[in-house]
Copies of this chain bind each other. A is one copy, B any other.
Amino acid sequence: MTGHGPVETPVFMPVGTQATVKALSNDEVKACGAEIILGNAYHLYLRPGLDIIGKAGGLHKFMGWDRPILTDSGGYQVFSLATLRKLSNEGAEFSSHIDGSKHFLTPEKAMDIQGVLGSDIMMTLDECVHYPAARDYVEQSLKLTTNWAKRSKAYLEKRQRSGGWKQLLFGIVQGSTYLDLRKEAVEELLAIGFDGYAIGGVSVGEPRNLIYEIAGYTAELLPRDKPRYLMGVGTPPDILEAIALGVDMFDCVVPTRNGRNGQAFTAAGDLQLRNAEFKEDFRPIDETCGCLACRNHSRAYIRHLFNTEELLGLRLVSLHNICFYVTLIGQARKAIEEDRFLDFKNAFVNGYNNKKEKA
């Protein structure tokens, strides 16, 4: 239960980096059945800036989205997109990727930013370590992340005592590929106590089998009565495999980013709609899909739109993909309720991969 209503899990959160799920309207995202979206604190802090979002009355009002929002802390972008200038126990000094301006992000400031955004679920500031990473670097980094998690919780409690903030706070398990460090991180976060736990630092360059190994091992250690959120993952089979491993929440740019490149997801594998093979294919992307793109338009038409660089092409495939992800995870939820999830997952993964191999 969040400040903007309940969220049933497992759930997929479309990514609305800059206060918009790329190429889509709120109505379209809602029509797909999305219950919650993700916003990026780093991007929104830089543009339009907290001043403007604050005056608008928070991110929900600024962008016109009335369902729950989860915001990340900005840590991931500071360590990947911005130029990191100085990292200390206190926080991270970085230069904006847009104009080079200098900023200093601390765990407390990350909470303040998310407080102004008014998200329903906030994330603690952490250091996201990329793959591969040396063990001693990861050990040091984990100390920092745990310390920041403690400070985040303490700061939130102080703000909640002084009134006004009712947001949930999730901690993030780091530890790279070192399972014993993941275990240590879980224990330390559990000792602090959060409303939910994210598995971070996966899908950062490591092979797929390692993603599953880390996600499965970590999810198993986390309490079953709190949401377990695997950050930034993944393809449709990845998501079902992770649900089987105990994960409840997902976000990923794949449906929109790949959609903008013409890649459409279906249960029978994905289609690259720019390809000449679809020139005279007058079937919808997916006969079984009820989205606007599949109800009204053919593969041949969408290929023409990409071929002529018409924006409606990006829109239609982004929309279809978001609907596909949200529908898939809804089917997974139903299969779990009906105690037939593993059959559902195996059938889907086989169907998806068979087509890919045939193609």
Query: CB within 8 Å of B: which residues of A?
Result: 18-20, 22-27, 43, 47-48, 52, 55-56, 62-64, 279-280, 282, 292, 296-298, 300-301, 303-305, 307-308, 310-312, 314-315
Contact = CB atoms under 8 A, between A and B. Distances in A.
Nearest to A309: B18
Q: For chain A, what secondary structure do more than half of its interface residues adopt (helix, strand, loop), or is it mixed? A: helix
A25 to B, nearest CB: 6
Contacts of A307: 47-48
| The 5 residue pairs across chains A and B that have the minimum distance between CB atoms | A48-B304, A64-B296, A23-B311, A20-B312, A18-B308
Contacts of A314: 311
A311 B25 contact: no
B18 A280 contact: no
A310 B297 CA distance: 24
A292 B27 contact: yes
Nearest to A64: B296
B25 A312 contact: yes
Contacts of A20: 305, 310, 312
A52 B292 contact: no
Contact of A279 (B24, B25, B52, B315): B52
B64 A304 contact: no
Nearest to A62: B301
Nearest to A282: B56
Contact of A311 (B280, B303, B311): B311
Nearest to A56: B282
Contacts of A304: 18-19, 47-48, 52, 62
A62 B77 CA distance: 42
B311 A22 contact: yes
A297 B20 CA distance: 12
Contact of A55 (B55, B62, B282, B305): B282
Contacts of A25: 292, 312, 315
Contacts of A298: 56, 62
28 contacts: A18-B304, A18-B305, A19-B301, A19-B305, A19-B310, A20-B305, A20-B310, A20-B312, A23-B315, A27-B296, A43-B308, A47-B307, A47-B308, A48-B279, A48-B304, A52-B280, A52-B300, A55-B280, A55-B282, A56-B298, A56-B300, A62-B298, A62-B300, A63-B301, A64-B301, A311-B314, A311-B315, A315-B315
Contact of A24 (B24, B27, B56, B312): B312
Nearest to A260: B311
Contacts of A279: 48, 52
A209 to B, nearest CB: 36
A48 B24 CA distance: 25
Contacts of A55: 280, 282
A99 B62 CA distance: 44
B282 A23 contact: no
A121 B52 CA distance: 49
A312 B29 CA distance: 12
A47 to B, nearest CB: 5
A296 B19 CA distance: 14
A18 B304 CA distance: 9
